Amino acid sequence: PITPGELLCLGSSLAFSGLFYYLYRKKARAMARVQEAPKLQVDDDLPALVSAADGRCLPYVALEGIVLPARAALTSHYHEGLQGVIQKLLLKEHRLIWNSLARSW
């Protein structure tokens, strides 16, 4: 004889297992796309390639080349001889205009 509490636990366990498996497969597909990304060199042909792509965007592309740090390269505390740089991000905010009729920005 199976009690309703046991059925509830079994059902919730199956539901959570299904949910976690779905999330695992979703991340595995994204990881496969990243690993299969084409490797491009940073050279003079790169801007033309980007502008020719759909939406002027190349999803999951590995860029290979030499970058120079703006100030000093970051060195790893855990791996000797490993250095890295931080990508400079540009955030452009759109200008807000006060709408006196709606009394909002």
Q: Which region, left, alpha or beta, applies to residue 36 given φ > 0 means left and ψ of -120 to 50 means alpha?
A: alpha
Whose tokens are 């759909």? That residue is: 54
Distant-in-sequence, close-in-space partners of 57: CB < 8 Å, separation ≥ 6: 50
Domain extent for 66: 4-84
pLDDT of 34 reads 84
Establish if 98 belongs to a structural domain: no
What is the mean pLDDT, run by run of 10 residues, along the chain of 105 residues?
94 98 96 88 87 83 82 88 77 73 76
Tell me how many degrees the CA angle 30-33-39 measures, rounded to the nearest 5: 140
pLDDT of 59 reads 76
Please tell me the distance from the alpha carbon of residue 72 to that of residue 102, in angstroms, as a whole number: 49
Establish if 59 belongs to a structural domain: yes
Establish if 28 belongs to a structural domain: yes
